[in-house]
Each structure stands twice: as C-alpha cells, then as structure tokens.
Amino acid sequence: MGFLDTHAARRFSPEKLQKVNLFETPHLFCDVYCLEPGQSQKVHAHPGATKFYFVVEGTGTFTIGDETRAIGPGAVAWAAPDEPHGVVNESAKPLVLLVAMGPNPNRA
C-alpha cells in the first residue's frame, strides 16, 4: 500500500501518448495517461479485463463499444471485459487520465 502524487507522474511527448505506471498488483494496474492534442489510443479490447478512464484534466473523446462521447474532468468511461475502447484528444489542450484495469493482464 502507498500514496502517490499523480501530478509528479505526468509526462508528455510530442511523438505519442505517454503511459506512466503508478502501481500494479496481480489484481490490477493503475496508470496516468498523458495525451497532447491530436494523440490517441487506438480502439482495442482486453479479454477478461475491465478498464476505466477517469478524466483528471482536459477533454477526451472516448469510444466504448459502439458509442463515442466527449467527456471532461471528473467523468469516467469504462469498458467491460472484451468491450472495444479507446480515446483521442481532439481538443487544443493536454489530456490527463487516471487509468486502471483488472485483472492485471501483465501479471496473468
């Protein structure tokens, strides 16, 4: 168990979105995703795992299953196991997300 400052974990790159791992256990992982304007995470799915995106800062356009919606700070988008999901930053400002998924596919 521990405490983390998500502000200190933020990292941006003009080349691609940055995924910064905060912690992981056999049950889940938790990352900070940092997307510059125009960056995205392609739509994909995870067999047997639930994933959520919590918008910390900015506005992102999320695809969950067949629905696409723009959401901002304080909102959550989540995908059930095997459900397609992804995000794009179509805004002119940086997008910061807290992302978690369980069970942790890295520890299967």
Name residues whose C-beta falls within 8 Å of residue 2's C-beta, 6 or more positions apart in sequence. Answer: 23
In a domain, 85, yes or no: yes
pLDDT tens digits, 23-55: 999 999 999 999 999 999 999 999 999 999 999
pLDDT at 106: 78
* Assigned domain for 30 exists: yes
β-partners of residue 91 are none
CB 99 within 8 A of CB 23: no
95 falls within a domain: yes
Q: Where residue 108 falls among pLDDT bands split at 50, 70, 90?
A: low
Domain of 62, in residue numbers: 18-107
CATH number of the domain that 24 lies in? 2.60.120.10
Q: Mean of the pLDDT values across residues 49-72?
A: 98
Q: Are 96 and 57 in contact (CB under 8 A)?
A: yes
Q: Is residue 52 part of a domain?
A: yes
Within a domain: 35 = yes
Q: What is the average pLDDT across 60-69?
A: 98
**36 and 96 Cβ atoms separated by less than 8 Å:** no
